[in-house]
Structure formats: structure tokens, C-alpha cells
Amino acid sequence: MLWAEDGSRPSTTSRRSLRSARPHPFALPASALAGVHPGKQTMLTMLLPSRSSGPVDSPELVRVTPAARRSGELSLSPWSVPGVVVDPAELEDPAEDVRYGAAVPHRRAVARCAGVLASRGRVRPTLGHVGGRPEARWRPIVQGLDAVTRRALVEGLPPVARAEQRRGGDVAGRDPATLVDAALSTLTDAAVREQLGRADVPLDLVPRRRGRAPRSLPATEAWLGALTSADARFDAPEREISELAAALGAWDEVGTEETGPGRALFRLVEMRTLHDPADPAADEADQTGDGTRWVLEFQLQSTDDPSLILPADAVWAGNADRLIVSAQELLLAELGRAALVYPMLSSALRQARPAYVDLDVASAHSFLTEDASALVAAGFGVQLPAGWNGTRPIGLRLSTSSTPAPGVILRGGLGREELAQFRWAIAVGDQELGEEEIAELVAAKAPLVRVRGQWVSVDADALAKGLEFLKRERRRAAPPTAAELLAIAQGRGPETPLPITAVAARGWVGDLLEGTAERTLTPLDPPPGFLATLRPYQQRGLSWLAFLSSLGLGACLADDMGLGKTVQMLALEAHERAGTAPGPTLILCPMSLVGTWQREAARFAPMLRVHAHHGIGRPLGEALRQLLTGTDIVVTTYGTAARDIEELESLPWHRLVLDEAQAIKNSQAAPSKAARRITAGHRIALTGTPMENRLAELWSVMDFLNPGVLGAPERFRQRFAVPIERHRSDDAADELRRITRPYLLRRVKTDPTVIDDLPEKIEIRQEYRLTREQASLYRTVVDDMMEKIEDSQGIARRGNVLAAMAKLKQVCNHPAQLLHDGSPIGRRSGKVTRLEEILGEIVAEGDKVLCFTQFTEFAAMLVPHLSARFDQEVLYLHGGTPKKKRDEMVARFQSPDGPSIFLLSLKAGGTGLTLTAANHVVHLDRWWNPAVENQATDRAFRIGQHRNVQVRKFCCPGTVEERIDTLIESKKALSDMVISDGEDWLGNLGTGELREVFALGAEAVDDE
Amino acid sequence: MSDQPFWADEGYSARPRRVTGGIQINSTRGSVARTWWSARFIAVLEGLGVGGRLSRGRSYARAGQIVSLELDAGAVVALVQGSRPTPYKTRIGVPTWGKEEWGRAEQALADDAWYTATLLAGGMPPEIEELFAGLGLALFPAEQRDLSMDCTCPDFAVPCKHLAAVFYVLAERFDADPFEVLALRGRDRETLLANLRTRRGVTAAAAEPAAPGEGTPPLADTLDRFFSAGPSLDDAGRFAPAVTSPGALLDQVPELPVEIRGHRVTDLLRVAYHELHGYPQD
């Protein structure tokens, strides 16, 4: 129940009544309150500190006009207060402009307690009755420290929270324990249901039933079902309910017993033996060789105040009884219970006032390694001696120190000079042990020894094997490769006789392990003749790729889309071929990107000889082999690679590159299998999304790059996929990042070091392929229209040319747009499919996009389709949109929470609007007038835009779209001429030229 | 349907009256005594050769026919509901130890904390029998003459099924709290522990700590801090460590009598506890 005061209302009331409660003068009306926190409106009587004129302000209240100082005796008076009954979750979402009283954070603390109890499983399923109907409820089990928290909640309850007056004349206030317990009970039930409800698969405890369910379920089954359903109520025959209630009665006892206000604490200490050094006899008591012995002391620790620890002697002397109830019996009971877990104790208890037990070295070792954790698990406290650190056992320490990250090393393995300091040692923590020291430890055969002031447990056999290992490693002829070194440092190397407990890697090995190599490498300049200027981050990417290549490590370049992965890759190829001839590189990519690779290579790295290996009549066998001698890069599609795998796998590739490497996310699919069969000196994966959905995809890409790096699929699933995806384990995620980071480079657009580097507007020619349906329609239109054009003259011919143009553009958009038949969108258009992929990435990034088309019919088709596909509103602005609506749409798009996709007709939306919330612009079809297109683009790219804008223009190779694009580009390059108005000039072309412009090329169709 | 011979006492022929809220044992099948020390009592009973009455007594105990049971120094008195309207009154008597005998026993216990520690942890070391034997004391009855048994029912046999039922309930009482065995010999738990404390050399607890924080002040005394939370709220973030395995609770509860399609209910619930366990805290 919430109520509120309103600072703009009068602070006093003139109404007087001695008996009944008066209306509160400045309480906020329930209707106004419900506007802030919705809930059921109600009215109740509250006892509030008051003076004769009215209730006093709460400290949180801010008055519009300060109230006059008021005098008079402060006393408690009943007031009738409006309020709302809200859902507990409402309080987690505080409203602005409201100051909450202390009861609200208190209530949150109760909810937090409930949440922790639920997640620790300190809950008990119960059967209750409300209004005569049975209910399945989870109730908290509050014991031990949890009871301390509960008591703190009870004592911390602000008086105002218990000020409701239930009966007239009652002025004591409600019992805080009752209120807190009731709240804790309700919230615990809610917390359990919420946590179970968040599971991946909705949890159903009731085993599946074969056949139809009976009309009324057995009580136990109905109860079990109601424990996880939203509604806790259920129905079942009354007799069964009472049987169930009787059976569950015993359950209610569990966890209600007082655990007692303390627990036993066992403290392992070293004591001096006090042996007289003058005494020539051996020191019998010396357990450690240092004149000390091990003693396990018994202590009693208070539950309420864990800092209160009493030694057993004090307990027996009666000093503890003031602090802990029945301290002696408690200690005895705890010791009796502990003896069940740790039988060594029994013998120590055979005396009147047991206070400690002596341990010899073997028992001390067993205590440190096993018994202590058993006692802790059973709920006892354990204190271990200083210097004992179970996390730092004796183990192997690997240290490598290498030169600071070099520019590029052009050899496969690591030379001695680069890895001069590769060295194994046996160490305790960071302290390396000398060989003599180790030999002594082995000879001593003691399970527990003090090494450099720290107690460590020693397995003499393993230590001896460790020594052998050191000697063997020292004789090792070849230094390890970088891959081997990383594997060892990441704990995935071959088995060692002792655990690897420390890795000290300085220089570039350390940089790789830390994932900082990109920053420490010297940025590389692309070779002379490379025509693109690399941005600084691209230079760093180039040197990173070259570095990993020189080490023979597979590399995944996972920069955000638009950051220029292709150009970095081309720079690497050009760099490597400056002066040497390493052999051809094979690039696998989706069909739609083959042309991009060819074009970008021709544009930026004209020295690279590129062969597109696809389509009918591609050279195979000897012809291919011959061709390769004069080729630097072979680009092929995943589909073609799978078909030609027998050919490709037998060729000597310098490198294998997977573009859009998420194509091999399914390790069992044909493209993945093909990619894995091809042998190459080096492997690179390019992807903007290294993991689209599931971690298994990451496994597939990383395993392709560096086979075995993430282990076998099943092991990967157990170790990473399940803990991370199902249990959101941070530890497992950290571990996975640690292992993958040497091989993965990902820069994002929002990275400030990248943004500073970027041009402000990135233009991308977005290629796609026609579907078979589109291709056959396209041919029909060309045949049909060419006939008409040939038969017509003058203005009629011009008209026919423009009509042909329009129809072909419609086919490229979608078959249904040409047919005007309202047929479904489906997967019939290569352009729409590609658009969906791009929008998917944009939406996933949380970015916004403008999509321009000149065809309102196409836009009208897309709006419902895209809105269903992305489950969000898609804005659409066209010539018929009224001004008011237009402004409203723009405002909504510009607001942070507004829709992220905005479709606009080129003519209506091309001018006048400011849509800077978008940092992507897509031109779905072309007007072939750069000025018009730029005007449209500038809706997003204008003052107010703080981010870089990516502009995509759709273009299908082998169609009229590409031909005209090329034509314009070349003309622009020649004379920078501005094409006056759209497509009119087309009408002047001769029939032969038109045929060339219209003809459908083989590359237009997706052959995948 | 009766398994009784025709000449049986009329008390046998009718079904016993149902008791609501009667004392019922948890054991649903097989032997009743779970611990060696309660088994020692049952052994005396079972050595008496009254077979059929024992199993009927067990059924009585399982059906909850015992209306009340009082354990005191030297005797257990119980009311058992049979077929007649008035419950039968049964009594099992055991000789108590005298003051001097208890003095020896207490000193022996005080000298060796292991016994008390084990008893307080819910167990009873078998060596305790030897310890007392060494003092000339028998903790358990060995045969019928160590016990006196009476019942107001018309059955001529001793023990009758009512006495047998009381034995079984008593056995479970002993299982749950071994101190009850000693109580029967004349020292209830509190007295015994207090005496042991004295013998350990400490005078009776000088002062029990005041009950913490009880007695909520009336609202009228809180006007100066009416709108603020108590300072203790800062302590409300202390929680017991999560050392228990998920669903540890389910190992402590008795299984429900009903299964769902062959699955035990506790096993079905375990899934929920596992799911909760994987949920991140905070």
C-alpha cells in the first residue's frame, strides 16, 4: 500500500473530531497517486504524529510554500488517508519527481532478502488455503545468518510502516515482525516463481501425461503444477487435499528448528614446542622441523555477530554464557556433530573440557586438503594458518619474455632470438624454486612443507616427475611454435606432471594473451602501388593480420560492418606479395560478394591478379592449375567450393580466407566441411558477427582457424555453451574470452579510436542476386519490350524505353511489384532477402535506418512485411502523407525510443526533413541521379548527425542496375558531368546499345 | 475380512475407533526402531513371544491410535484408543536410578565430553552402555522383569497390542532424542545438562542473555523517528553462505505417499531447486 503527501496542499485542517479519524489534509488523492504507481485505490486509517492543527510533514515532503512553524504538543492521531495497493514490482521502478519515504527502501530490502533466499533454494513448498481455496505457495526458510537479516529488517522497519490503525482505539501500531514476515513470505513466493519463470524452457515439474488429462487432476499433481504456474490456486477433491496437507505437515517442520545462536569454529595453528635448546634429546613434539607443532583449536562463533569468537576454554570457564545462549551445550553439540564429519575429533573429546586436538603432519595435511572443506560444507567455520593459501599450490611456472611486439615476423616458428626466455620452473605462487630445493623436497617425502615461509602440500612423486619434466624441456631441440606456446599458457597444452600455476609472459606473447597485440604492434603501411589510404585502425588491423600470419596463427577479423574488412584483407595480400611470391590465396564468400572482391581489388590493389572461380565453364583440372601460376587471389563461393572440393583441396594454397565466415556456423553443413578440407598455410575468417546466435557458431569459426583451440564440441558445450547460455556464468564467459582473444580482433563503430579515424559518410554498393523467378521474368520483359521498342518511333519509342526501364526495375525489386497481383513476398526477391539481412544487423546494433524507394507500391508491400519480420512498427512516408502526420512521424523517429526503420518515397521524403537519428541510409532502387540520391541521403547526413553514416545503394550485377551504375560512374569520372534529369537520356540510346544495357548477365542469378 | 479366530475377545472383533490428531509413527513399513538404542527397547518387547499382538500394535502405532503419551522418570503413561469409546490407559514402568547412582553416572559423563557431545548431536555412543555397566548401572531393560507393563484393556496377554503400540511410539521418541532414554531413568535433559555443567566446574549459568530486541515500542514512543528506518537496516544484507547443495531440503523431508506416474514428488521438485541454484544472486 502506497500513500503520498502533496506539498501544494494546505498543511492544516479546520475539521475537528475527537473520536473518528479526520481526512488527512495534504494526502495526495488516490486517483492522482494511481497515475504515478497504478494500483487499486483504497482508504485507510493511519496513526500519524500530529499537532492539534493537523499531521506533521514527513521529512521527505517539499512544500510549495513553506508552512508556518507550528507549535503545540506532538501526539499520535488517526487520519483517514487515501492510498493505492500496488504490485511489489512497482517499487523497483521509482518515478521521478517523487521522494520516497524510508518504508520504500525497506520494502526493497525485504524483496532483496526474498530474492536471495529463493536463489539459494532456502524455500519450502507449502499448501495453504485462502478464501477456502487451496493454494500452492513457496515459503522462506530463515535460519542462521538469514535470521540475523530478518531481525534487522524487523528492527529496521520505520514506525510509519506499521502505523495503520486496524481498530479504533488501537494505538500501539501493528507488530513489525508480523508485517515483515508476511511481506517476506509473499515476496519469496513471487521471487521463486519469477526465477523459475525466467528459465530457457518454462519449467514444468509435472511429468508429461500420456493421453488426455482427466477433468480433475489428482491433488498432488495439481499442487505441483500450481507451484510453478502464475496462479498459485488449484482445485482438487477435498479428501485428497486434506491427505496432501497431512503429508506436507511434516515438511513444514523442516528448517524451522532454531539452528542455535552459534557454530563451532576450528582454527589450525602452529604452536612453538617450547623445547629447551640445551636439551640434547630430540624434540618429540616438533611436527614441522621448525620447532613447532600443529594444533587444531575449538572455538565458538556467534551467529548474530560473527566477529564474536570464543575459545573453548572460555566457554568451559562459563565466560561465554552471557553472550551466547547455553554456550557449553552448544559447543558440545557442535563438536558432536563435527565428529561425524571429521572422526579425528572423537579422541579429543574424551575428556571433561576438550579445547583442542594435536595433529601430526599427516593429519594436518589431510585437514588442510580435505577435512577443512568437509567441515565448511557441513556448516562449521574453519580458520587456516597464515601463509596457507590453497589456491597457490606448488606447480609449474612458465615464463617467456620476448621482444616488444615487432612489426612483423615473417617466419613460421619462433626463433630462439624472439623467444630467448622461454623457460619452465617449479614454483610456489610466483616464487621459483631452485633445483636443489626441489630435490630436498622430493627426498623429504613430507606431505606438508614450509617453502619460503608458506605452507604447501607436496606430492613427492609428482614433484619428482616435475623435475624430470624440467630437465626434458631444457634439452628440447626446437622451440615451441606460437600456437603451442599459447596453448600451454592458456592451459590447453599437453598434460604436465604438475599443474601450471603461473604464466609470466612479457613482450608480444603477453600482448597476444592479453589481446592487446593490435595496439602494441607497429602499424604497417600498405605497399607502394596500393591505391587506398588506410585509416589508422585499418593499418593496425593490417599489422595484426600480418603478425598472426607470420606466427602461423589463424586470425578472425571481426570488425563491425562498414569498417573495411575487405580493404584490410587486400592490403595484407598486397603487402605479402611485395617482393615475394607466396602462392595464391583462396577466398570463399557468398555469391553476392564475388563481384565486390573483384571490383575492390581492381580499384585498390590493381597489382593483385584476381580470378573469380564460379559459374559454368570455370577452368578446372590442369587449366585451373595453369591459371593459378599467374594468379594471386582466387575468389569463389561457398557453394562452388563445396562442389569443386576435390579440385581445390589438392592445390597448394598460401592462405584460405572465409568472408562472411558465419556461413560455416554449422560445422556439419557442406560449406563448413569443404572449408575444413582445404589445406592452406594460413587461415583467416572475416565476419561482422562472430556469433550470431549461439556459442556453437563461435566454436565452428575458431575451430576452423585453429583446429582444437576450443576443444571437442561436446567438451565445449559442457564447459562454455551450457554455463554461459543457460546459467549466464561470468566465469565461463571470461574464460572463453581469455582463450579466444589472441585470435580475435573486433573493433566497433562506437569505439572512439575508430570513430576519430572514420570518414563521415561511407558509401557502399550493396550487391545481391536475382532469384530464378526474377530472372525469368526479367528475360520475358526484355524480349517483350525490345520488340515494342523496335516497332516504335519518336515519342512512342521514348515512352517504351522508359516503360521497359521501369518494369525491369520493378522485377529487380520484387516479382509481385511487376505483376501487380498482391501475391505474397516470401523468398522470391533476392533484393528483399538481402535487405532483411542488412536491417537485421542494423536493428540488432540498436541503430536506425532510412530506406528510400521511388515506387510507392514497393514501399506499401514492404511496410507490413518488415514490420512483421522485425516485430516493430515501420514508419512509411509518401507523397500522400498529410503534413501533420509527417511531422509526427519525424518526431517519433527522432526520439530515442521511436521506431528504427523508416521507409520513404524518394520524391516525398527526399527533401526538407531532418532525420539525423538514422546513421544508415539504404537506396532500394536507383534514380541514377546522384544529386537526387544525395539529397535523400542528406536527410540523415546533416547538421545534428554525430555519427558516421553508412549509405548503401542496391545493385544487382548483370542487370540494368549495374550497367547504368557503371555507365554513370565512368561518365562521372570522365567529366564529372551531372546527369540532368533521371533517366530521360536513356531514350536517346540506339537499339543495339539498349540491348546491351538491358541484357541479363549470367552473374545476375544466385547459383547457390 | 477379520484375521481373528472366532473365539477371540470381543475387543478384537470390532475395528478400533479412529483418532483425530493421534500420535502416529513415521515408519510406514518394516521395523520401527531406526537406532541401536531404541532397538534395544523393541528387542525386549519382541523377545516376549507375542507375535500377532506386536504386528497389530505396530498397525495401531501407524494408524495413530495413541491419544497421548507422557514420558516421566520411571514410567511412560499413554492413552490408546481401541474399539471401545474410552481409550485404554497403558503404563510401562522402568526402575529409576537413585541419587547416588546418578551422581556416579553424571560424574562419568562429565569426565568424558564425548558422550554429551554425541548425545547433543542426536546420537548415543554404544560405549555408553559399557560406561554405565562399569558403574553397576543398566541403561536398557534386558528382559520382561526389568519392566512393568499394565493396560486397562480386557486382553489377558501382556503385553497387549496397546502396550506394543506404545513401545513403537516410544522407540521413535528415542530415535529423535536419545536424552529421553536417560529421562526414563530419572534425569530429564535440562536437569542432566545443568548437573553436568556444575560437575564441569561451573556454577549454573550466571545469567542467560536477555532475549534480544523483543518488545516493540508503542507507536507513540516513536514520534521522534517516525518516518525513518532503524539503524539495523544496514545489517539486512547478511546472508548465510550458499554451501548447501541445491535441494538439500528435499533430503530432509519424508516422501509423500503419492507418486506421479512413477516419479517421487521430491525428485520432481529437485528440478526446481536446481533451476533456482543456477540463478545469479542479486
Q: Are B258 and B264 in contact (CB under 8 A)?
A: no
- Give the CA distances from residue A732 to residues A494, A510, A562, in Å, rounded to whole numbers and listed in that order: 21, 21, 31
Q: Are B25 and B61 in contact (CB under 8 A)?
A: yes
The string of DSSP codes covering A819-877 is HTS----TT--HHHHHHHHHHHHHHHTT--EEEEES-HHHHHHHHHHHHHHTTS-EEEE
pLDDT at B167: 92
* A304 inside 8 A of chain B by CB: yes
Interface contact flag, B244 A113, Cβ < 8 Å: no
pLDDT at A834: 92
Where does residue A283 rank: exposed (0-12), middle (13-18), buried (19+ CB within 10 A)?
Answer: middle
d(CA B262, CA B276): 24
CB atoms within 10 A of CB B131: 17
Lowest mean pLDDT among A198-207, A750-759, B260-269: A750-759
How would residue B252 be classed by pLDDT, with cut points 50, 70 and 90? Answer: low
Question: In 3-state terms, what secondary structure has residue B134?
Answer: helix
Where does residue A706 rank: exposed (0-12), middle (13-18), buried (19+ CB within 10 A)?
Answer: buried
A430 or A106: which carries more pLDDT confidence? A106
- Give the CA distances from residue A103 to residues A90, A174, A179, A212, A608, in Å, rounded to whole numbers and listed in that order: 14, 14, 12, 50, 73
Determine phi and psi for B38, rounding to 5 degrees: -75, -30
**Per-residue model confidence as pLDDT tens digits over A570-598:** 999 999 998 888 899 999 998 878 888 98
Degrees, nearest 5: CA angle A906-A909-A911: 100
Instruction: Give me the residue label for grid cell 569468537.
Output: A309
* A160 inside 8 A of chain B by CB: yes
Lowest mean pLDDT among A58-62, A363-367, A373-377: A373-377
Interface contact flag, A349 B197, Cβ < 8 Å: no
- Give the CA distances from residue A360 to residues A273, A289, A371, A449, in Å, rounded to whole numbers and listed in that order: 13, 12, 14, 13
- Give the CA distances from residue A44 to residues A68, A157, A211, A317, in Å, rounded to whole numbers and listed in that order: 28, 19, 52, 56
Query: How far, rounded to the nearest angstrom, does the alpha carbon of residue A234 sit from its chain's CA centroid?
Result: 38
pLDDT at A993 over 70: yes
**Per-residue model confidence as pLDDT tens digits over A53-106:** 788 888 888 777 766 666 677 888 888 888 888 887 777 778 777 888 888 888
B229 vs A contacts (CB less than 8 Å): 102-103, 105-106, 156-158
Question: Stretch A911-937: mean pLDDT, rounded?
Answer: 80
* A318 inside 8 A of chain B by CB: yes
Q: Which of A101, A105, A329 sits opposite B193 (nearest CB)?
A: A329
Interface contact flag, B256 A248, Cβ < 8 Å: yes
A831 or A403: which carries more pLDDT confidence? A831
Cell triple for residue A2?
Answer: 502506497
**Per-residue model confidence as pLDDT tens digits over A499-541:** 887 788 777 788 888 888 888 888 888 888 898 888 888 999 9
pLDDT at A18 over 90: no
Q: Which residue type, as a one-letter code, is found at position A466?
A: G
How would residue B243 be classed by pLDDT, with cut points 50, 70 and 90? Answer: very low
How would residue B244 be classed by pLDDT, with cut points 50, 70 and 90? Answer: very low
Interface contact flag, B276 A196, Cβ < 8 Å: yes
Q: Residues A664-682, buried b or exposed e (16+ Cβ, 10 A)? A: bbebeeebbebbbebebeb
**Per-residue model confidence as pLDDT tens digits over B30-72:** 677 778 999 988 888 888 877 788 888 888 998 889 999 999 9
Determine the residue among B116, B214, B276 to mutate to test chain A binding: the one whose Cβ has the most chain A Cβ atoms within 10 Å. Answer: B276
B242 or A106: which carries more pLDDT confidence? A106
pLDDT at A931: 67
How would residue A420 be classed by pLDDT, with cut points 50, 70 and 90? Answer: very low
Q: Which residue of A has its CA nearest to B263?
A: A207
pLDDT at A980 over 70: no
A209 vs B contacts (CB less than 8 Å): 261
B273 vs A contacts (CB less than 8 Å): 121
* A158 inside 8 A of chain B by CB: yes
Contacting A residues, span 231-250, partner chain B, CB-CB under 8 Å = 243-244, 247-248, 250
Q: Which of A158, A340, A379 sits opposite B229 (nearest CB)?
A: A158
% of chain A at pLDDT higher than 90: 21
pLDDT at A418: 53
Q: Which residue type, as a one-letter code, is found at position A388?
A: W
Q: Cite the beta strand spans of A475-606 per DSSP E.
A: 500-506, 555-557, 585-589
Query: What is the crossing angle of helices A794-813 and A991-998, to 10°?
Result: 10
How would residue A983 be classed by pLDDT, with cut points 50, 70 and 90? Answer: low
Minimal C-alpha gap between A249 and chain B (Å)? 10
B88-93 and B148-151 strand pairing: antiparallel
Interface contact flag, B237 A243, Cβ < 8 Å: no
**Per-residue model confidence as pLDDT tens digits over B156-208:** 887 888 999 999 999 989 988 899 999 999 999 999 999 998 888 754 433 33
**Per-residue model confidence as pLDDT tens digits over A4-15:** 887 777 766 655
Minimal C-alpha gap between B219 and chain A (Å)? 5
**Per-residue model confidence as pLDDT tens digits over A313-348:** 888 887 666 667 788 998 999 999 899 889 989 999
Q: Which residue of A has its CA nearest to B208?
A: A322
Helices then strands, each counted (H, E), chain A: 37, 30
B113 vs A contacts (CB less than 8 Å): 332, 335, 349-354
A68 or A828: which carries more pLDDT confidence? A828
Determine the residue among B196, B228, B267 to mutate to test chain A binding: the one whose Cβ has the most chain A Cβ atoms within 10 Å. Answer: B228
B201 vs A contacts (CB less than 8 Å): 316, 352-353
Q: Which residue of B has its CA nearest to A244?
A: B256
Question: Stretch A763-785: mean pLDDT, rounded?
Answer: 90
Q: Are B196 and B109 in contact (CB under 8 A)?
A: yes
Q: Which residue of A has its CA nearest to B204?
A: A318
pLDDT at A305: 65
A120 vs B contacts (CB less than 8 Å): 239-240, 242, 244, 276-277, 281
The per-residue pLDDT of chain B, averaged, comes to 80
Q: Which residue of B has its CA nearest to A246?
A: B256
pLDDT at B267: 84
Interface contact flag, B236 A47, Cβ < 8 Å: no
Contacting A residues, span 206-235, partner chain B, CB-CB under 8 Å = 206-207, 209, 218-221, 224, 227-228
- Give the CA distances from residue B222 to residues A26, A106, A391, A523, B229, in Å, rounded to whole numbers and listed in that order: 22, 17, 51, 71, 11
d(CA A737, CA A988): 61
ipTM, 2 dp? 0.70
pLDDT at A386: 65
DSSP label at residue B123 = -
Query: How far, rounded to the nearest angstrom, does the alpha carbon of residue A462 sit from its chain's CA centroid?
Result: 40
DSSP label at residue B56 = H
B261 vs A contacts (CB less than 8 Å): 207, 209
Interface contact flag, A352 B110, Cβ < 8 Å: yes
The per-residue pLDDT of chain A, averaged, comes to 82
pLDDT at A212: 74
Q: Are A604 and A567 in contact (CB under 8 A)?
A: yes
Determine the residue among A155, A256, A323 to mutate to test chain B binding: the one whose Cβ has the most chain B Cβ atoms within 10 Å. Answer: A155
Q: Quick one: which of A935, A944, A957 has its CA closest to A917?
A: A944
Lowest mean pLDDT among A275-279, A565-569, B265-269: A275-279
B234 vs A contacts (CB less than 8 Å): 152, 156
How would residue B7 be classed by pLDDT, with cut points 50, 70 and 90? Answer: very low
Interface contact flag, B219 A173, Cβ < 8 Å: yes
A22-23 and A423-428 strand pairing: unpaired
Q: Are B144 and B41 in contact (CB under 8 A)?
A: no
Contacting A residues, span 460-489, partner chain B, CB-CB under 8 Å = none
Question: Stretch A670-677: mean pLDDT, rounded?
Answer: 90
pLDDT at A275: 65
pLDDT at A307: 65
Determine phi and psi for B160, rounding to 5 degrees: -85, 180
d(CA A432, CA A426): 6
Minimal C-alpha gap between A521 and chain B (Å)? 39
**Per-residue model confidence as pLDDT tens digits over A632-650:** 999 999 999 999 999 999 8
d(CA A563, CA A566): 9
Q: What length is written for chain A?
A: 1008
pLDDT at B211: 36
Q: Which residue of A has its CA nearest to B215?
A: A175
pLDDT at B107: 94
d(CA A942, CA A761): 10
- Give the CA distances from residue B109 to residues A147, A253, A279, A352, in Å, rounded to whole numbers and listed in that order: 34, 31, 40, 8
Per the rule left: phi > 0, alpha: psi between -120 and 50, beta: everything else, A831 is alpha
Minimal C-alpha gap between B210 and chain A (Å)? 9
* A101 inside 8 A of chain B by CB: yes
B207 vs A contacts (CB less than 8 Å): 321-322
pLDDT at B49: 75
Q: Are A829 and A815 in contact (CB under 8 A)?
A: yes
How would residue B102 be classed by pLDDT, with cut points 50, 70 and 90? Answer: very high
What is the pTM for the complete model shown?
A: 0.47
Q: Which residue type, as a one-letter code, is found at position B263?
A: H
Whether the ω angle into residue B159 lies within 30 degrees of 0, i.e. cis, is: yes
Minimal C-alpha gap between B67 and chain A (Å)? 17
Q: Quick one: which of B165, B37, B147, B143 has its CA closest to B94?
A: B147
Minimal C-alpha gap between B241 and chain A (Å)? 8
**Per-residue model confidence as pLDDT tens digits over A210-252:** 777 777 788 888 898 888 888 888 888 888 888 888 888 878 7
d(CA A424, CA A395): 10
d(CA A967, CA A956): 14
**Per-residue model confidence as pLDDT tens digits over A863-879:** 999 998 898 899 999 88
Q: At a CB cut-off of 8 Å and minimum separation 6, what does A624 contact?
A: A613, A618, A647, A651
Minimal C-alpha gap between B33 and chain A (Å)? 19
Segment (H or E) for A682: strand A680-686
Helices then strands, each counted (H, E), chain B: 10, 6
- Counting other chains too, the contacts that A254-257 makes at CB distance below 8 Å and 24 or more residues apart are A254/A124, A254/A141, A254/B249, A254/B252, A254/B253, A255/A122, A255/A124, A255/A141, A255/A143, A255/B249, A255/B252, A256/A141
- Give the CA distances from residue A850 to residues A118, A830, A904, in Å, rounded to whole numbers and listed in that order: 47, 20, 7
Q: At a CB cut-off of 8 Å and minimum separation 6, what does B103 contact?
A: none
B75-80 and B66-72 strand pairing: antiparallel
Q: Quick one: which of A180, A107, A184, A177 has its CA closest to A138?
A: A184
Lowest mean pLDDT among A743-757, A838-852, A881-895: A743-757
Q: Residues A941-969, buried b or exposed e (16+ Cβ, 10 A)? A: beeebebbbbbbbbbbbbbbbbbbbebbe
Minimal C-alpha gap between B115 and chain A (Å)? 8
Q: Which residue of B has its CA nearest to A49?
A: B223
pLDDT at B281: 46
% of chain A at pLDDT higher than 70: 85
Q: Which residue of B has its CA nearest to A109?
A: B236
DSSP label at residue A324 = S
A119 vs B contacts (CB less than 8 Å): 276-277, 279-281
Interface contact flag, A119 B276, Cβ < 8 Å: yes
